[in-house]
Amino acid sequence: MARCWLVRSFAPLAIIAGLAIAYSLLYILRNAHFFSTNLALTYTILIVVAVEITLATGILPSYAWYRETFYKLPFDLKVLTRNGQLAYSTAQAKPLSPETIEKITELGTLNGAAVDFRVPSNPHTLKRAYGISGGTALLSIDVSKNDARRTALKQRKEELVNASELLKRSAAIRQGLALREAERDLFEQINNSLAEKTSEINRLIDELPEDDSLESATIRRQNLTRVKFLVAYCKRKGSLIVAEREGVSFTQEQVELVFTEAAADFRSMGIESAALFRLNEPLSPAIMSHLYDCAYDFASLAFAIKNPTLLLFGENDERCALTVRIVLQCEESRKLEPSLQNFCNSLTKAGIRNCHQIEADEIAVKIKLEDSAL
- In terms of C-beta distances under 8 Å and separation of at least 24 residues, what long-range contacts does 116-125 make, across chains too? 121/97, 122/97, 123/147
What is the DSSP-derived secondary structure letter of residue 365? E
Distances (CA, A) of 45 to 16, 20, 122, 217: 10, 10, 56, 149
Burial class (CB in 10 A: 0-12, 13-18, 19+), 172: exposed
Amino acid in the structure at residue 188 = E
Alpha-carbon span 238 to 223, nearest angstrom: 22
Residue 16 domain boundaries:
2-60
Q: What is the DSSP letter of 253?
A: H
Do the beta carbons of residue 137 and residue 158 sit within 8 Å? no
pLDDT more than 90, % of the chain: 7
Does 368 lie in the same domain as 253? yes
Domain end (from 117, 143, 169): 143
Number of domains in the chain: 3
Pick the last residue of a domain from 93, 125, 143. Answer: 143
Task: Find out whether 134 and 153 touch, Cβ atoms under 8 Å.
Answer: no
Contact 240, 284 (CB under 8 A): no
| pLDDT at residue 362 greater than cutoff 80 | yes
Query: Would you say residue 221 lies in a domain?
Result: no
Q: Using CA atoms, how far apart are residues 294 and 193, in angstroms rounded to an integer?
A: 14
Does the CA dihedral 332-337-339-340 come out positive or negative? positive
Give me the CATH number covering residue 275.
Answer: 3.30.565.10
Q: Are residues 133 and 92 in the same domain?
A: yes
Domain boundary, last residue among 60, 89, 104: 60
Same domain, 26 and 85: no
Cα separations (Å) of 327 from 36, 291, 315, 360?
Answer: 153, 14, 15, 13
CA pair distance 344, 346, nearest whole angstrom:
5
Please give the DSSP secondary-structure letter assigned to residue 329: E
CA distance 110 to 104: 10
Residue 214 belongs to some domain of the structure: no
- Whole-model pTM: value is 0.54
The predicted-structure confidence for 271-300, as pLDDT tens digits, reads as follows 888 888 888 888 888 888 888 888 888 888
Q: How far apart are the C-alpha atoms of 58 and 231, rounded to whole Å?
A: 109
Regarding whether 109 and 9 lie in a shared domain, the answer is: no
pLDDT tens string 199-232: 888 888 888 887 777 777 887 888 888 888 888 8
What pLDDT does 36 receive? 66
**Are 290 and 308 within one domain?**
yes
Checking if the pLDDT of 1 tops 60, the result is no
pLDDT in tens, 50-81: 777 777 776 666 555 666 777 788 888 888 88
Per-residue pLDDT at 19: 78
Residue 210 CB neighbours (<10 A): 6
Instruction: Specify whether the CB–CB gap between 236 and 261 falls below 8 A.
Output: yes
| Residue 165 CA from chain centroid, whole number | 13
Same domain, yes or no: 277 and 347: yes
The three-class DSSP label of residue 156 is: helix
Residue 6 lies in a domain: yes
What CATH number is associated with residue 95? Answer: 3.40.1840.10
Clarify whether residues 19 and 129 are in a common domain: no
C-alpha span between 64 and 52 (Å, rounded)? 13
368 with 253, same domain: the answer is yes
> Quick one: 278 and 254 in the same domain?
yes
Q: pLDDT digit string (tens) for 18-59? A: 877 877 777 777 766 666 677 777 778 878 887 777 777 766
The end-to-end CA distance of the chain, in Å, is 92
Residues 281 and 323 in one domain: yes
Q: Do residues 292 and 312 both lie within one domain?
A: yes
Q: Give per-residue pLDDT as tens, 143-171.
A: 889 889 999 999 999 999 999 999 999 99
Q: Is 74 helix (H, G, I), strand (E, B) or coil?
A: coil
Of 119, 130, 71, 115, residue with least CA distance to 96: 119
